[in-house]
Amino acid sequence: MLKERVKELLKEAFEENDSLFLISLKIEDQNHILIVIDGDKGVSVNDCIAVSRKIEHNIDREEIDFSLEVTSAGVSEPLKLPRQYKKNIGRNLEVRTNSNKFEGNLVAVNEDGIVLSWQAREPKPVGKGKITVNKETNIAFQEIEEAKVVITF
């Protein structure tokens, strides 16, 4: 019952700000509600406050005792939804599939998956030494086991 009510309220909150979307909703022991959100343009503290207030002000604490935590998806968290990839076009990703690991620039996102590009040093076709070549690969969403944004300083 509590989870259904929270889902309804989240739907309303996301209708009010359609750039936001749900990453995860957990209700743990003693009705601790943990909500992780993300947004097409990022998530501000005010976005988290608005979602929190939407839930907190519409569930009667006299009926159900609960605690509530609304957070944004951290930059070190793996990407889970196709919508998250779109906002990270142009950034470097580390992507692990069941057979390979890739690190490259996210250049495109389509309904089936992503396109990564990177440069690699390879032996020259003729003679000694190496040359830098541009590489690109398509990775289907269902092949991705984990994808994270690579943080560089």
Complete domains list, the chain, with CATH? 2-72 (3.30.300), 82-149 (2.30.30.100)
pLDDT tens string 15-61: 999 999 999 999 999 999 999 999 998 899 999 999 999 999 999 88
Mean of the per-residue pLDDT values of the chain: 93
Contacts for 90-93 with beta carbons within 8 Å, 24 or more apart? 91/149, 91/150, 92/149, 92/150, 92/152, 93/147, 93/148, 93/149, 93/150
Distance between CA 120 and CA 73 in Å, rounded?
31
Distance between CA 122 and CA 128 in Å, rounded?
11
**Cα angle value 61/30/50 (rounded, 5°):** 50
Percent of the chain with pLDDT over 70: 100
Distance between CA 96 and CA 100 in Å, rounded?
6
pLDDT tens string 104-119: 999 999 999 999 999 9
Residue whose C-alpha is closest to residue 20's, from 72, 91, 77: 72
107-118 CB burial, b ≥16 within 10 A, e <16:
eebeeebbbbee
